[in-house]
Structure 1
Amino acid sequence: MARSIAELFQRLTTGIYVIGVADGNRRDAFTAAWLTQVSFDPLMVALSVNPDNASHAMLKNSGRFAVTILKQEQLELARHFGTRSGADTDKLAPIDWAETPAGMPYLKAALAWLDCRVNTITPAGDHELVLASVHAGELLDAEAVPMSDAETGNMDNSAALFPASFPSDHGHS
């Protein structure tokens, strides 16, 4: 058994993404690891978002977001967008970025991007699950390898958020 629940869950195979949001003239982005494809027809993804994230209101207000798929060697970009709040700083200012057809920001030096429209948002514990349709996208670097969550270690100190043990399941059969 893993030494901790955090170590166990950090071995789930997830990528690292920068989620770009816009609301009016405001733009922001944040790092996310909990994103997965959930449907072929229509093309859909599910994204888990912390409602305390400074970008959360922008995502909800616009009903759109962009997914930037990071490359293995882009740990500093993941750190830049994952460890600083956009509430009091323009995280996109020093970065080369562009907009999707719907006006959502994505990082130009990435592996690929997706343009997503929110279908539903559902509470999911301390996060919200955002189901979204994918309306556009582009592969920017076909030779690149996607970054995985395991490569980031505990850069955002999220290991401290895991419980110390699993809840007791006295009702198992």
Structure 2
Amino acid sequence: MIEHAEMLVKQISHGVYVIGVGVGERQNAFTAAWVMQVSFDPLMLAISINPKHYSYQLLQESGVCTVNVLAQDQYALAEHFGRPAEAKMAGFQWKAAESGAPVLSESLAYFDCQVSHYADAGDHKIAVCKVVAAAKLNQGKPLLYSQTGDMDGSAELYG
């Protein structure tokens, strides 16, 4: 057992994102903190996703997603999209990216991505994605995972 692991992993710097996925009218979004750049040329991002979630099914079907960067004042959005719920995209402004994946208009910026391949990672899958487009949407500073406390309930998973 690693003592205080739940506190220590919060020291690894990374942001908080809303990942938009969809196939036609079936669209969903989820909060992710485990996103990172993995290549310059081509520009690629890696996204960690729970394969038991509905969003994973949509990602596999479509092969595309968006990574929407949240601002420091958007904790409520991170919390909202982090919960399992039906119709959780309702009430928010979305537009389609070039790939067709949903973009959260309120985000600071977004990356439009096409899945290159998947890798196993314990209880999650890693989707390695090529960035096909990106844009800055709004001003602000990004929300960091360390600023979210135990919003994701991860403290219960260490033990």
TM bucket normalised to smaller:
over 0.9
**Secondary structure in structure 1 of the residue aligned to 2:130:** strand
* Equivalent residue number for residue 137 of structure 1: 134
* Equivalent residue number for residue 71 of structure 1: 71
Query: CA shift at 1:140, angstroms?
Result: 1.2
Query: CA shift at 1:24, angstroms?
Result: 2.6
Matches within 5 A, 1:109-148: 109-141=106-138, 143-148=139-144
Q: Which runs of 5+ in 1 are unaligned?
A: 165-173
Query: CA shift at 1:98, angstroms?
Result: 1.1
CA distance in 1, matches of 2:53, 2:148: 19
Instruction: Work out which of the two has the higher radius of gyration on C-alpha atoms and give 1 or 2.
Output: 1
Query: CA shift at 1:127, angstroms?
Result: 0.5
Amino acid at match of 1:154: D
CA distance in 1, matches of 2:23, 2:107: 23
Identity %: 42
Amino acid at match of 2:105: K
Deviation by residue 1:86-139 (Cα, 9 ceiling, x = unmatched): 4xx111111111110111112111100010000000111110011110000101
Q: Which runs of 5+ in 2 are unaligned?
A: none
Query: CA shift at 1:3, angstroms?
Result: 5.7
* Equivalent residue number for residue 168 of structure 1: none
CA distance in 1, matches of 2:40, 2:102: 24
**Secondary structure in structure 2 of the residue aligned to 1:52:** coil
Give the paired residue count: 158
Query: CA shift at 1:43, angstroms?
Result: 0.4
* Equivalent residue number for residue 23 of structure 1: 23
CA distance in 2, matches of 1:115, 1:132: 9
- CA root-mean-square deviation: 1.3
CA distance in 2, matches of 1:42, 1:68: 19
1:93 and 2:90 aligned: yes
**Secondary structure in structure 1 of the residue aligned to 2:11:** coil
Amino acid at match of 2:135: E
Normalised by the size of structure 2, how large is the TM-score?
0.95
Amino acid at match of 1:149: Y
* Equivalent residue number for residue 34 of structure 2: 34
| Runs of 4+ displaced beyond 4 Å | none
Deviation by residue 1:10-49 (Cα, 9 ceiling, x = unmatched): 1110100000000132010000000000111000001111
Amino acid at match of 1:22: G
CA distance in 1, matches of 2:30, 2:136: 20
1:102 and 2:104 aligned: no
CA distance in 1, matches of 2:150, 2:74: 16
CA distance in 2, matches of 1:3, 1:108: 40
Deviation by residue 1:71-98 (Cα, 9 ceiling, x = unmatched): 0000000000002x14xx1111111111
